[in-house]
Amino acid sequence: MPLADIARSGPTLEASALQRTVLGNGLVFHHAEAGAGVPLVFLHGVLGDWRTWAPQWAAFVPHFRCISYSRRYSVPNGNRQASPDHSALAEADDLEALLARWQAAPAVLVGASYGAYTALALAARRPDQVRALVLVEPPLMRLADGTAEGRATREDFDRRIRLPARQAFEAGDDARAVWLLTEGILGGTDLGQQSAAAMGRRLENAESLRRVTLSTDEFPVLDMKRLANLDVPTLLLSGERTPPIHDVVFQALVQALPRADSRKVPGAGHGVARDQPALFNALVRDFLARHGLPP
């Protein structure tokens, strides 16, 4: 990135002051904001929070009005409201309300994992709120069942990861549940490279993991016919060494969204933006520029 971009971007993401938004239903959200122009909202996955996008902040702030927020149950929000069927649909409701409060619609939505699921859920219902989509491996698990291989992969993931993690949360063993989900989401190879600080941050966000894992509908069906005809620039990204469950879902999603651009990112697992930040930033900046963003 040019030095001028770094100079104009101001504080790093983690050094940014947080702003607090309280919605009418009492839910509290915190976000960092910097830059000007077209709004670009970052959406983290269930293992992260507003700090997830630190490697992207300086690359995008000089060109967009950037917002990185913590989704409903991630730190430091502190929300504990009941949501037994919590899912990306509820998170999309939150996002729609937040965009209105921030006067940030339509926005470019850059989402990873469950954050990408949330962005896609909003686009399916309110495409007028979305200017462009960048989606890193949204876990639309039910898409895997379209093939025998995909169904077998999804059932294996349920058996080894999802159901044992659910049982651990039900037993109050948050540490085991977080470890299991980290292993399942990132894969065994990446798990061995995780620092103590990274695992500590995931434990801080155990509430976010718990709410999704214990939900009665953690992977809701989206209107794929409507999404297939979505007139919004869309970029789908996946890591070349991502775990099999994400790979089969990604392949199905590429087939379901024929109008989207798609790319496998070398040297990356499920956490594409973290594993290959410079390449991720360049791919996203190039994609947005090809669609006139920023203008």
For 112-130, write each residue's pLDDT tens digit.
Answer: 999 999 999 999 999 999 9
Tokens of 27: 């839910």
8 Å CB contact between 269 and 242 = yes
Give CA separation, 289 vs 56, 109, 226, 294, in Å.
16, 15, 25, 6
The predicted structure's pLDDT at residue 8: 54
The pLDDT, as a whole number, for residue 4 is 45
Residue 95 near residue 104 (C-beta atoms within 8 A): no
Residue 114, token pair as written in the block = 């469950």
CATH number of 3-290: 3.40.50.1820
pTM across the whole model: 0.95
pLDDT band at 196 (very low <50, low <70, confident <90, very high): confident
pLDDT at 38 over 80: yes
Q: How far apart are CA 221 and CA 139, in angstroms?
A: 11
For the cut 60, the answer to whether the pLDDT of residue 145 exceeds it is yes
**Average pLDDT of 216-237?**
97
Rounded to the nearest integer, the mean pLDDT of the chain is 94
- pLDDT above 80 for 197: no
Mean pLDDT of 23-49: 97
Strand partners, 33: 67
Structure tokens at 203: 């434990």
Residues 6 or more apart whose CB falls under 8 angstroms from that of 255 comprise: none
pLDDT of residue 191: 56
Contacts of 290 (CB under 8 A, 6+ apart): none
pLDDT above 90: residue 5: no
Give the model's confidence band at 193: pLDDT under 50 very low, under 70 low, under 90 confident, else very high. Answer: low
How many residues belong to the chain?
A: 295
Mean pLDDT of 29-48: 97
Overall average pLDDT of the 159-184 stretch: 96
pLDDT in tens, 240-255: 999 999 999 999 999 9
Mean pLDDT over 185-194 rounds to 67
Residue spans per domain, the chain: 3-290
**Cβ atoms within 10 Å of 103's Cβ, excluding its own:** 8
* 200-224 residue pLDDT tens: 888 999 999 999 999 999 999 999 9
Q: Cβ neighbours of residue 53 under 8 Å, at least 6 residues apart?
A: 13, 42, 44, 68, 110, 273
